[in-house]
Amino acid sequence: MLQRRGSISWRKAFEYSIQVCHSLQEAHSRQLWHRDIKPDNIFIVREEGEEVAKVLDFGIAKLGDQQETSTEAGIICGTPEYLSPEQARGREVDGRTDIYSLGAVLYEAIAGHPPFEGDTAVKVLMCHIMDKPPHLKELELPASIPEQVLELVMWTLKKKPRRRPAGVEEFWTKHCLLELLHC
């Protein structure tokens, strides 16, 4: 959808993100970290006339403290444009890694491009580690997007995991409050 349209409305992006959060909550409650949240792994299907976002491809998921098998500690796995700083460094991850990646997807859905782009994967990874993403307020976006929505997306993209939402519940609770304010 993003490849065809470039961007989608913030409301539609957040509707899908809440559905993704529900899937991630199910995984995170089992200590399962997806580690590759990106547009290609969020599939939009029709169920009973409604569009529903489904999370696909748990191929590089990590189960809590389980020893690495298909990937080794210190090895970077995932898609560069959506990797959290801790993933880009090859460090331990938890659910906040998926929140960062979901934030990068939301950023792209609203802005029409991911927070960081570059000629090489290494350049993109270094941006995730070193650079602050351009704030959505600084981009030429529709004025109808509430500032709180932009701030919520930027909150998910904090470099330090402890500065991001602690879990998907915190993210979707904050989102639901915003939705009530802007209906």
Return the active site residues.
36
Annotate 54-89 with b (16+ C-beta within 10 A) or e (fewer): ebeeeeeebeeeeeeeeeeeeeebbbbbbbbbbbbe
3-state secondary structure the chain: CHHHHCCCCHHHHHHHHHHHHHHHHHHHCCCEECCCCCHHHEEEEEECCEEEEEECCCCCCEECCCCCCCCCCCCCCCCHHHCCHHHHCCCCCCHHHHHHHHHHHHHHHHHCCCCCCCCCHHHHHHHHHHCCCCCHHHCCCCCCCCHHHHHHHHHHCCCCHHHCCCCHHHHHHHHHHHHHHCC
